[in-house]
Structure 1
Amino acid sequence: MPSLKDIRAANALINDATAPRVSVWVGGTSGVGKLTIKALAETGASVKIYIVGRKSSEERIKTFTQELNAINPKAEFIWIEGEVSLLAETKRVCEIIKEKEFSIDLLFLSTGYAPLGTREETSEGLEICQSLEYYTRILFTLHLLPLLQKAESPRVVSVLGGGLERFPINTDDIDLKKPGSFSSARGQVQYGHLNSIGLDWLANEYPDVTFMHTWPGWVDTGNVRRGNIDPNSWTGWLIWLVLEPLIKTFSMRDEDSAQRNLFQCTSAAFGGRGVPWKGKPGLSTLQKPDGGLFLVNYKGDCTPNTKNITRLRENAQSKVWAHTQNILEPYL
């Protein structure tokens, strides 16, 4: 595990030459994404940062980026409005970016929230958290891969539950649509596992891009209050009385989380590309320091999780990927 001191020292090496010069942040309007954008801007490097979010976040993000520009005038921020729980909107946003850029160094994906309420579907018929935490992320990646492949140190970081793979994927009901299939616990496990197996597939298809699925640990982002949760319901009271106090008690400091995530976005510790790193390199799901998917937790520990990933590859990956292609094909 790299110490926070070592992580800060590595991040101090980020400059105009080593920073991700063009990055796209989907989910950067709050939580881990927003914290990491701030940490990247505060390096003083010349960077162009695309932030994608809903209309309701626009004014708040404009204020946020103006504050960052006062710290780092070399940072350029570009806001793109989009309701990315919808795959059609995701495609539209990607087309805007592809028209503007030749290459992208970093794609950071952190959309979503714990599905603690009842099942809620988008107008496209997908459970909203699954769309945000899996389908949207894979669609952004597929659309922007040609631009990522043109960069020197391209990286895709999906923030959810990397390294927590423990259970089988329900391949007979991947979208948890059958009566009795969906619950908040099943949904969160299923979506995290789908991320790992989907990104593992892409990492093996595109070895010139560094793919990471990370687990941010406990960070007080306020996301437990998102979704269709009645504050006067048992779930609402449980969040207020138990879950929120636990999160506040055990969460790491925002600044520490930002530095750790910035390290994961930039360090050559993962895949051998990026800001120089003299410490022990992380091992991917292929048990290699380069190539494959890197599963990284909030401390910076990297695990191949060989037993569980191998089981998921053998029992679920081909079915999951075929289903994913079927869902996304109209939007590619």
Structure 2
Amino acid sequence: MVALQTVLQSNANIARLPSGLVALFIGATSSGIGESTLQHLAQHAPAPRIYSVARPQSVAAHETLLASLRKSNPTATITLITADISLVSEIDKIVAAVTQKETKLHIFVTAGGRMAFEGREDTREGLEPSMSTRYYSPLRAVQQLLPLLNAAPSPRVLAVLAGGREAQMNEADLDLRDPANWSYWNAAVHAATMCTLALERLARGNPRLSVVHWDPGPVATPGLAKWDKYGLTPPNQRSQDEGGTRGVFLATNDRYAVQGHGGLVPVPEGLGGVNKSGGGIFLVDADGESTDNEGVLAGFRERGVDEMVWSHTEKVWAECAARARSPKDEL
């Protein structure tokens, strides 16, 4: 376990980084881990350029938060991008907003998503929102942002979902379009498992890119509070502030950088290394340590399920793009 004091000491060293760190956040608008991670990075980094995405209905509240962060760190440039990440086609808008102003991207944090306890209600793209916000949209963002990430000296992707909890999927119905296959739990399992397999594929093709898929465990966020009425609230919850503190640690400390491509915050003295998955990414538990889920993941890779997931994902992206271009959908 990485002690909280070690995490705090590491995060204090973010202030020593060169100015101009560029970071993009998806899923930082719901008073959760993403928002807390954004707050801590904005407070520590010298003259960072931070982009944060908010749905139209969340813009006013999120802009209030961003204004407070600009006030607390006058050197920071913090830009709000309005987009609905439940729609894959909206990712183009996010990527364009960043690429128009930046030549590199050091950190991409995706922490969006929810458990669809209320049932399934598809978006106009035909996707279930908990799966699009957790998987299809953020992975599309990573794929499109690779040129900017690869231009950074030590690029990092932090996916806040359920790294290490991958499980068997319905391989004949990956997006669970058949109502008989869908449940909020199946949707969560599919999103987390496909996320790891797709991130591994991207990491193998981009060896300088460090990818962390993190399971933060129970964190006392408003999203987790909604679990109460379903009798699912877990014990031993960490505070939201600690969740964000640990999120920044994972996004900036060289302990979670691929070998030879560190360059952000040095590994704290006395803290050992962490192992990557067989597919080349860091699966990290709530305590900041690597998890071993090769019993599941190795079998997927041996059978080519990772390539099947990627082919399926590209097909879904293409379908979403076609719907966005359709005159019918514009009416």
Tell whether the structures are fold-level matches, with TM greater than 0.5: yes
Residue type of the partner of 1:215? D
In structure 1, what is the equivalent of residue 139 of structure 2?
138
| TM-score normalised by length of structure 2 | 0.89
Structure 2, unaligned stretches of length 5 or more? 323-331
In structure 2, what is the equivalent of residue 231 of structure 1?
none
In structure 2, what is the equivalent of residue 261 of structure 1?
247
Residue type of the partner of 2:52? I
Residue type of the partner of 1:89? E
Q: Given that residues 164 and 215 in structure 2 are in contact (C-alpha distance below 8 angstroms), is that contact kept between their aligned partners in structure 1?
A: yes
Separation of aligned partners in 2, 1:92 and 1:4: 37
Q: Given that residues 276 and 282 in structure 2 are in contact (C-alpha distance below 8 angstroms), is that contact kept between their aligned partners in structure 1?
A: yes
In structure 1, what is the equivalent of residue 59 of structure 2?
58
Instruction: Please show how residues 156-167 of structure 1 align to structure 2 within 5 Å.
Output: 156-165=157-166, 167=167
Match of 2:307 among 295, 312, 318: 318
RMSD between aligned residues: 2.0
Give a deviation string over 1:9-43, Cα, whole Å, max 9, x none.
11111125257700000111121110011111221
Separation of aligned partners in 1, 2:230 and 2:171: 36
| TM-score normalised by length of structure 1 | 0.89
Q: Secondary structure, in 3 states, of the residue corresponding to 1:285?
A: coil
Would the alpha carbon gap of residues 241 and 174 (structure 1) be closer, same or farther in structure 2, given more than 3 Å must change?
Answer: closer
Structure 1, unaligned stretches of length 5 or more? 227-237
In structure 1, what is the equivalent of residue 325 of structure 2?
none
Q: Given that residues 214 and 283 in structure 2 are in contact (C-alpha distance below 8 angstroms), is that contact kept between their aligned partners in structure 1?
A: yes
Q: Given that residues 213 and 295 in structure 1 are in contact (C-alpha distance below 8 angstroms), is that contact kept between their aligned partners in structure 2?
A: yes
Residue type of the partner of 1:280? G
Separation of aligned partners in 1, 2:289 and 2:143: 27
Moved over 6 A (4+): none
In structure 2, what is the equivalent of residue 327 of structure 1?
316
Percent identity over paired residues: 29
In structure 2, what is the equivalent of residue 235 of structure 1?
none
Residue 296 of structure 1 pairs with residue 280 of structure 2: no
Separation of aligned partners in 1, 2:276 and 2:142: 19
Instruction: Please show how residues 1-332 of structure 1 align to structure 2 within 5 Å.
Output: 1-17=1-17, 21-30=21-30, 31-165=32-166, 167-223=167-223, 239-240=228-229, 242-243=231-232, 246-247=233-234, 250-271=236-257, 272=259, 273=262, 274-277=264-267, 278=269, 279-286=271-278, 292-315=280-303, 316-329=305-318, 331=321
Give a deviation string over 1:241-264, Cα, whole Å, max 9, x none.
733xx35x5310222111111100
Q: Given that residues 215 and 298 in structure 1 are in contact (C-alpha distance below 8 angstroms), is that contact kept between their aligned partners in structure 2?
A: yes
Q: Secondary structure, in 3 states, of the residue corresponding to 2:151?
A: coil
Deviation at 1:44, TM superposition (A): 5.0
In structure 2, what is the equivalent of residue 233 of structure 1?
none
Q: Given that residues 53 and 83 in structure 2 are in contact (C-alpha distance below 8 angstroms), is that contact kept between their aligned partners in structure 1?
A: yes
Deviation at 1:106, TM superposition (A): 0.6
